[in-house]
Structure 1
Amino acid sequence: MTPTRGDLLYSREGTYFGIAAEVPQSTRVCLGQRMVLIRPNSETLDFRFLRHWLNSPLMARHISGFRDGSVAERLNLPTIRSLPVLVPPILEQHAIAEALGTLDDKIAVNERIAATSRALGIAQFDAACAAGSRNVTIGSISSMLLRGGAPSYTEDPAQTTVINQKCIRGGRVDLGPARKTVTAKVRLDRILQKGDMLVNSTGVGTLGRVAVWTHDITATCDSHVTIVRPNPAAIPVMVGAYAILAAQPEIELLGEGSTGQTELGRTKLEQLPVQVPVIEACEALASQLYRLEERSKAALDENQTLTELRDTLLPQLISGELRVEEKNSSA
């Protein structure tokens, strides 16, 4: 299928349940069974406005808990067709889309900064290993390797954040899918520390994904995630973290068990060999990696603020509580 300008893809189940994205015009696409194509009528509905609406917290609350014959969240086509959309006049939609699009542009810039910083870190780690390396095991450079605990979920925002497998993607932790667990029931050794590596440890397609913990909040992990804490007495924390990042393809192959019930055992993870630079190179490399991770964190922290601002503005713009200047032609 060749998309036209304004086509949206909408995920009706799975990891990206309830997320809409514009289809790049230059890309031919084939829809998977978890995806739906939405083609708005451009005379009455600005596709950028619709994308913001579908991705808003208002819509997320509306579709939360949808079930279609299984324990997984799923939207069927009749439900998607009946999703409510508050539609201002088309010129007002254009203006709202332009205003929110400015925030989207800044968010995209920050995402590129974070991605570039991580890519530079990986390049520096690889270069250090190429200049001189040694083989160690994950267990030998770790002070702790422990599965998270079974959460006691709560809706109290003051309680401890609990990270699940959906949060771990692209080497980073996205707090969006995280939930809260009762703080009093969290073991102290499961409270995350900066530089901890989080490893998805169950399930086909998720097992083996890793991420570096860099957030400043109090958090833990559920029982589907393994916490690997690099030992600073054996290796600088950030160098150990990058070594485990580099080993993700090998970690993904360590699962055992039947389809759908695949598990990553602690012993296999401990014994996995990884390559790290020679000791003499580690301190300087750690300093470089730390600075790059801080640059990434600053960009992504700003994105969190911008995202919250965007999500706050949308209902205010739709209700007329806030107004933006309308243009006489569509963008």
Structure 2
Amino acid sequence: MADVALGEIVTFANGRPHPTPGTAYRTYGANGVIGASGEFNAAAHSTIVGRVGTYCGTVHYSPEPCWVTDNAIIAAPKQGVNPRYVYYLLRRLGLNRYRIGSGQPLLTHGILNRLTTARLTRAEQDSAASALGALDDKIAVNGRIAACADALVRARYDASAPRTSTRIGDLGELVRSTVPAADLAGTENYIALEHMPKRHMWLSTWTDASSITSAKRRFASGDILFGKLRPYFHKAGLAFVDGVASTDILVIRPKDPAHRGWLLAALSSDAVIAHASAVGDGTRMPRARWPDIAAFEIPWPGDAAARRFTEFTAALAARVQAAAAETRTLAALRDTLLPQLIP
């Protein structure tokens, strides 16, 4: 099978800074969606490649028109080339291997244009993109299930409007179980701040503890993790597994499991995040303190209503957890098939 230079099948162009204000189109940076824009500078079915910085070489795909910042490169298929095949091809090439520079890694058009790959027919491109795309489409559906469940919990919490209140510390307690790095098994689940999505209460991503070199906090499935470093990033969610967490994360356990849902909704609410951000210690790298969070007053619907709310939340959490498990299986299959379908 003959090789072809990447520049013969893909056109590369840098993104542009300062997107027009608006919400019509997603804005992509070096590591994916970072906001929205009123205009687009990349057509539908474009691939976005991280151009500079930590995420140099990271690859994303946008099925819709979008705005791409100057931290990324727009990769568009040339005539006759399947657009989604371009995305999977660039993922297959592992572009971060070709970056230059140490202090500020960089990918250039010259580097990308000179890379070579096997020349596939359009039929072969379509077949590969169809098989891999079907897996990613189902992964995207699972992501929407989690987002809808998150929105439902928040809406029900906000709509409850109880007349009484209670302190967060009356419902939850801080888990202080510290584990030295030497006592950790490499196979344990590990959650750091980067594994916690912003304003999303389901923690379905983690890694293993094999590379950990410092002490961590032990947590259990059903605990609520709260990002205390720069709390305005709004990172609070429910752990689906046992494991260890970064010490930049507070581990909070419900005093009564029947109140878990209400505590989760409260800790991930805008009001609690705003309070934690306002009272955090430090200016450049503020950190929230548990005593300040524990003392914060939140709405309280009463024991019976809180129990019903937890039942509602638990059913949604179980559906999200099942979808997340399926996503991990689908992603592993996709990654196994990728080098076989795109040599």
Q: Find the counterpart in structure 1 of residue 322 from structure 2.
A: 298
List runs of 5+ in structure 2 lacking aligned partners: 1-39
- Alignment length, in residue pairs? 298
Q: Does 1:97 align with 2:120?
A: no
Q: 1 or 2, which has the higher strand percentage?
A: 2
1:293 Cα deviation after fit = 0.9
Cα distance change, pair 265–144 in 1 and its aligned pair in 2 (3 A): closer
Q: Find the counterpart in structure 1 of residue 139 from structure 2.
A: 107
Q: Does 1:3 align with 2:42?
A: yes
Cα distance change, pair 204–278 in 1 and its aligned pair in 2 (3 A): closer
**Contact 2:201–2:264 under 8 Å retained in 1:** no
Residue of 82, 97, 101 corresponding to 1:46: 82
What TM-score do the two structures reach when normalised by structure 1?
A: 0.76
Q: Find the counterpart in structure 2 of residue 328 from structure 1.
A: none
Q: Find the counterpart in structure 2 of residue 121 from structure 1.
A: 153
What is the 5 A alignment of 1:150-161?
Answer: 151=181, 158-161=186-189
Q: Does 1:21 align with 2:61?
A: yes
**Matched residue type, 2:305:** A
Q: SS of 1:49's equivalent?
A: helix
Q: Find the counterpart in structure 1 of residue 96 from structure 2.
A: 63
1:110 Cα deviation after fit = 1.9
Pairwise CA RMSD: 3.5
Q: Does 1:180 align with 2:218?
A: no
C-alpha separation in 2, matches of 1:223 and 1:303: 28
What stretches of structure 1 move > 6 A for 4+ residues in a row? 64-67, 147-150, 182-187
1:161 Cα deviation after fit = 2.1
C-alpha separation in 2, matches of 1:181 and 1:65: 26
Q: Find the counterpart in structure 2 of residue 34 from structure 1.
A: 71
Q: Find the counterpart in structure 1 of residue 173 from structure 2.
A: 143
Q: Does 1:241 align with 2:264?
A: yes
C-alpha separation in 1, matches of 2:222 and 2:238: 6
C-alpha separation in 1, matches of 2:128 and 2:215: 43
C-alpha separation in 2, matches of 1:294 and 1:281: 20
Residue of 224, 233, 253 corresponding to 2:248: 224
1:36-77 Cα shifts (integer Å, max 9, x gaps):
22223243x433122224345x72xx637968443x8x4433
1:102-147 Cα shifts (integer Å, max 9, x gaps):
11222222222222222222223333x32x2432222222122549
Cα distance change, pair 267–66 in 1 and its aligned pair in 2 (3 A): farther
Higher relative contact order (CA 8 A, sep 6+): 1
C-alpha separation in 2, matches of 1:6 and 1:185: 42
**Matched residue type, 2:238:** V
**Contact 1:49–1:93 under 8 Å retained in 2:** yes
1:7-55 Cα shifts (integer Å, max 9, x gaps):
2222344579713122622x4x2x3343222223243x43312222434
Q: Find the counterpart in structure 2 of residue 310 from structure 1.
A: 334
**Contact 2:276–2:293 under 8 Å retained in 1:** yes
C-alpha separation in 1, matches of 2:139 and 2:172: 35
Identity of aligned residues (%): 21
C-alpha separation in 1, matches of 2:279 and 2:114: 42
